[in-house]
Amino acid sequence: MSITESQKIVWEDEYSVGVKLIDDQHKMFFSIINELVEAINNKIDKETITGILEQLVQYKKFHFATEERYFKEFNYENTDDHMARHREFNAHLKKIKEKNDGDMLTLSFDLVDFIEDWFVKHILNIDQQYKECFRSHGLK
């Protein structure tokens, strides 16, 4: 069982929200996901994969906190909806982890599938909605 090179997540210009800080965070998220894909493909040990998964979880917390701080600071009109989507992501992530408790390989595959799909759709559809708000408040 392996994930192909083509399943790596690649940054595209269309993902940009026009705010360097947020785009850089999104790119870092992609990098961590790709590190997990690489570890799976190279059959890296469980300890290393666990470390990458923890890095992914911690970076997700950091990134969501960054967005949510600006939502509040700028009085972003879709704050409640966007934060609800972050909570849904967290709940789904927890469900995947519980379902695959002890099976690191299946957990890794399920997380990569879920996160790649969710994250790309989220950036393209939901994050694009705050683009103008953030930029109008001086974020570039």
The pLDDT value recorded for residue 73 is 96
The pLDDT value recorded for residue 136 is 94
Query: Does the structure show a pLDDT above 70 at 53?
Result: yes
Rounded to whole angstroms, the Cα distance separating 61 from 76 reads 19
Rounded to whole angstroms, the Cα distance separating 122 from 4 reads 23
CA–CA distances in Å: residue 96 to residues 14, 101, 117: 29, 8, 14
The C-alpha angle with vertex 62 and arms to 56 and 67, in degrees rounded to 5, equals 125
- Give this prediction's pTM: 0.86
The pLDDT value recorded for residue 61 is 94
User: Structural domains in the chain?
Assistant: 18-136 (1.20.120.50)
Q: What is the pLDDT of residues 20-51, one digit of tens each?
A: 999 999 999 999 989 988 888 887 777 888 88
Instruction: Using the structure block, give the residue that is written with the tokens 């947020």.
Output: 22
